[in-house]
A = this chain, B = another copy of it.
């Protein structure tokens, strides 16, 4: 059973302002929820159409109908279960002895989620986001992380101010950079990924200490750019392959 007020609350969590107000977010599907349950995230309540989570306190499980699930889901095809978690407080932590990622105004939730999944794969523990980067607790971001959100620390800050203070190399993919395959890529360092339409902003470009570029191989040479998540995949792979 689910009450009208619960439906209203959960639906409101699709919007950032209500997530901020209530300090809550939701995740959907067994895989993502299970990964969050195995992490430090604190569960509020699970809504499920099947008996799925045997290790969860019974008082936190609500069995609901498919129709009820549909009324709270953000998915076109709801995925058996939805769980509400508390948004943890985050702060800038010192990851300066590791490879880090900085997101400069990434706007697409799918891209952000995919980058978090990639970070997890390549052992990147910390992602620093500009204030204008899409909210990590957006349901589409959570979905695209496929659960990796449970293992990667994501923090928002004044990116320019933060990068001005670090002492590790700051890498950024820019058209006029050195071919990534020919450079020794130094770790610990920070890889900056830029906005989907405008790339890395002028403010942040000034702080890039190592400009790199992914060479283009097509003979027609008309492709203008790579999607930011696929560029991130290539850059992370290059950083890790030799280490």
Contact = CB atoms under 8 A, between A and B. Distances in A.
Interface string A213-225: 0111111101111
Residue from the set A122, A151, A222, A227 with the largest chain B CB neighbour count within 10 Å = A227
Contact of A237 (B110, B118, B229, B237): B237
A148 interface: yes
Contacts of A7: none
A41 interface: no
A22 interface: no
Interface string A200-243: 00000000000000111111101111110111111001101100
B114 A220 contact: no
A116 to B, nearest CB: 10
A117 interface: yes
A223 B220 CA distance: 37
A78 interface: no
A217 B240 contact: yes
Contacts of A110: 110
A120 interface: yes
Contacts of A241: 181
A212 to B, nearest CB: 13
A220 B151 contact: yes
A223 B229 CA distance: 17
Residue from the set A144, A226, A237, A240 with the largest chain B CB neighbour count within 10 Å = A237
A68 interface: no
A201 to B, nearest CB: 21
Given A121-B218, A218-B123, A220-B151, A233 B240 contact: no
Interface of A: 31, 35, 110, 114, 117-118, 120-123, 144, 146-148, 151, 181, 214-220, 222-227, 229-234, 237-238, 240-241
28 contacts: A31-B224, A110-B110, A114-B227, A114-B229, A117-B223, A118-B226, A118-B230, A120-B218, A121-B214, A121-B216, A121-B218, A121-B226, A122-B216, A122-B217, A122-B218, A123-B218, A146-B227, A148-B223, A151-B218, A151-B223, A181-B241, A214-B237, A217-B240, A227-B229, A229-B230, A230-B230, A233-B237, A237-B237
